[in-house]
């Protein structure tokens, strides 16, 4: 399958770069399962950037620049076919893991974004309330503890009424 030349164009804004790639990828990938996973990861990355921007930029410029550079490299690898479509979802996930592994605020937001996708609509308020409390003002050690607690919750089967209580328990004593 021919890869369009647009993969070689770059922007200097990470969100714009992800959005452009999202639309290109949606029209390019033909395998429904791979497409679904890739689009979900791209959407989660955009959500993470939007949350960071809304909550005081807890993702630092250097981290965004690193992600942007890795994103450009990924596009170039797709163009020269050294990266194939089946590898793209795991590559996208590795971009996040490598770049934000030392940022507990971003990791907490990431696990909450994933939890949003599993939660019943009636419980989204609890997740959104916690997302609104992620900011650079939240000490990193507290963000790390909350992240670890919420990550445990995200790995358990969700019961309709248990999520708000579980999130409250996970954050009790750690939020200002």
Rounded to the nearest integer, the mean pLDDT of the chain is 87
In our burial notation (b when 16+ CB lie closer than 10 A, e otherwise), range 2-34 reads eeeeebeeeeeebbebbebbbebbeebbeeeeb
d(C-alpha 53, C-alpha 45), whole Å: 12
Tell me how far the alpha carbon of residue 164 is from its chain's centroid.
Answer: 22
d(C-alpha 131, C-alpha 158), whole Å: 18
d(C-alpha 101, C-alpha 128), whole Å: 22
d(C-alpha 116, C-alpha 48), whole Å: 12
What is the reported pLDDT for 141?
94
What is the reported pLDDT for 148?
94
∠ CA 121-123-124, rounded to 5°: 70
Mean pLDDT in residue range 77-81: 89
**Digit-coded pLDDT (tens) for 46-61:** 999 999 999 999 999 9
More confident residue, 29 or 144: 144
**Digit-coded pLDDT (tens) for 109-165:** 999 998 888 887 888 899 999 999 999 999 999 999 999 999 998 887 766 568 888
Residue 110 contacts residue 100 (beta carbons within 8 Å)? yes
Report pTM: 0.85
């Amino acid at each position: 399958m021919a890869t369009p030349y647009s993969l070689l164009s770059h922007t200097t804004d990470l969100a714009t770069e992800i959005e452009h790639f999202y639309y290109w990828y949606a029209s390019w990938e033909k395998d429904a399962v791979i497409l679904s996973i890739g689009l979900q990861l791209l959407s989660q990355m955009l959500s993470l950037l939007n949350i960071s921007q809304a909550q005081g930029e807890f993702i630092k410029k250097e981290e965004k620049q690193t992600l942007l550079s890795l994103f450009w490299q990924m596009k170039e690898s797709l163009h020269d076919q050294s990266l194939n479509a089946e590898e793209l979802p795991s590559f996208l996930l590795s971009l996040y893991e490598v770049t934000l592994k030392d940022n507990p605020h971003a990791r907490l937001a990431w696990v909450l974004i994933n939890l949003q996708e599993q939660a019943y609509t009636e419980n989204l308020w609890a997740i959104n309330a916690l997302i609104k409390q992620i900011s650079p003002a939240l000490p990193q050690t507290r963000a790390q503890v909350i992240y670890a607690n919420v990550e445990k919750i995200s790995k358990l089967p969700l019961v309709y009424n248990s999520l708000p209580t579980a999130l409250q328990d996970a954050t009790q004593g750690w939020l200002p």
